[in-house]
A = this chain, B = another copy of it.
């Protein structure tokens, strides 16, 4: 298998992409950056996966229209502060106005401009600030790592740190790159997509393969994380491929490499979202193995990392494994509780705590030590078949409540 190399940078790592992030003043009383733009010099094929929430934000509907029409795209504009969801027809008009202004400044058609919004649901976008922000962003666009970092910073809401990643791989003898950025960190329980994630690549990949690969890989990454069980109205993952690496049509092996690179990218970013979930102090990973089928494995793993009681126990470094078995039991997936083994694992050690559905002979002190690491994994063997799945979440802390009890103040 061709190697996939981790490199420095983010969305500007592939050829032809520039970006920027700045403060447009959309979030009242805060000083951080709140608008970002990505530009591709050569128009890019676009794949996208979006929230399955019946309530969809205006920019989600806008982007879906572009992706479904198979249009190529030239730019992405993102704001934080307001989600532009539950804003009625005014929200759609605000999307069009944003796209038209960006298009006129960059020499594009309006439906070549992708849009993303995140923040409070229900309030109208402050269009004067959005428009001033777009005008300020265009002249700043650069293809440097610093520019990518500013863009990643500008899409944050309650995230405590920016999330970006870049990879290099080889397709048909040509060096290709892939860059990505995303943001969490509440209302995270994606159903095909997460809050906002933008991936750029200079690989030449046809639209059908791009969409198919993105949908499959997102299913095993973003669709396997949860912070609070709430599926957002704005979840969006966009993948832009501008073809500037100059590779030819993908062979089967090339397609496998591209898929592996995208999996590495999305797995990395989705784990970063899970560990930076609102108020989180640690990443909590659950791997279910030997399940009867893939669907059961996924359902069981997700139920464990979504359980409020399990998440609170992980926060308290309490090996309260009964809550894990309980969460598996109400998940709806079938398994035999009397055949379950559970192992806790972290940088601090590894220990079997459940064998055949009952407590193993283990030390609570050692368990607490294992659960004190920044990343904790529960390995759950259901001895029922050959399928496995991994899900990522975080602990439930006092800080989560603090953040969400006064999010708008």
Contact = CB atoms under 8 A, between A and B. Distances in A.
Nearest to A320: B408
Contact of A323 (B121, B306, B337): B121
A132 interface: no
Contacts of A405: 312-313, 315-316, 318, 397
Contacts of A56: 329
Contact of A313 (B87, B306, B407): B407
Interface string A114-126: 0000001111000
Contact of A406 (B86, B189, B316, B409): B316
Contacts of A38: none
A82 to B, nearest CB: 10
Interface stretch (A8-16, A99-107, A351-359): A351-359
Interface residues of A, number: 65
B55 A401 contact: no
Contacts of A402: 398
Contact of A357 (B86, B321, B357): B86
Contacts of A330: 52-54, 189, 191, 230-231
Copies in the complex: 2
Given A55-B337, A121-B322, A309 B86 contact: no
Given A53-B330, A54-B329, A318-B409, A88 B398 contact: no
Contact of A401 (B334, B401, B406): B401
Interface in A236-259: none
A150 interface: no
Contacts of A359: 86, 122-123
A80 interface: no
Given A86-B325, A88-B338, A337-B86, A404 B313 contact: yes
B408 A328 contact: no
Contacts of A358: 86-88, 122
Given A88-B356, A328-B54, A358-B88, A122 B322 contact: yes
At the interface, is chain A mostly helix, strand, loop or mixed?
A: loop
A271 B121 CA distance: 30
B232 A326 contact: yes
Given A230-B330, A309-B228, A318 B408 contact: yes
A85 B233 CA distance: 38
A326 B354 CA distance: 38
A243 to B, nearest CB: 36
Nearest to A358: B88
Contacts of A191: 330
Given A121-B325, A320-B120, A325-B121, A229 B308 contact: yes
B404 A401 contact: no
A322 B229 contact: no
A162 interface: no
Q: Which interface residue of A53, A334, A338, A404 has the most chain B CB atoms within 10 A?
A: A404
22 contacts: A55-B325, A56-B329, A85-B322, A85-B326, A86-B354, A88-B357, A120-B320, A120-B322, A122-B325, A122-B354, A122-B358, A228-B309, A230-B330, A231-B326, A233-B329, A315-B405, A316-B406, A318-B406, A320-B407, A398-B398, A398-B401, A401-B401
Given A54-B329, A83-B322, A231-B326, 18 more contacts: A53-B330, A54-B335, A55-B328, A55-B337, A121-B320, A121-B323, A122-B325, A123-B359, A229-B229, A229-B307, A230-B307, A230-B309, A308-B308, A308-B404, A312-B404, A316-B404, A397-B405, A398-B398
Interface of A: 52-56, 83, 85-88, 120-123, 186-187, 189, 191, 228-233, 306-309, 312-313, 315-316, 318, 320-323, 325-330, 334-335, 337-338, 354, 356-359, 396-398, 400-409
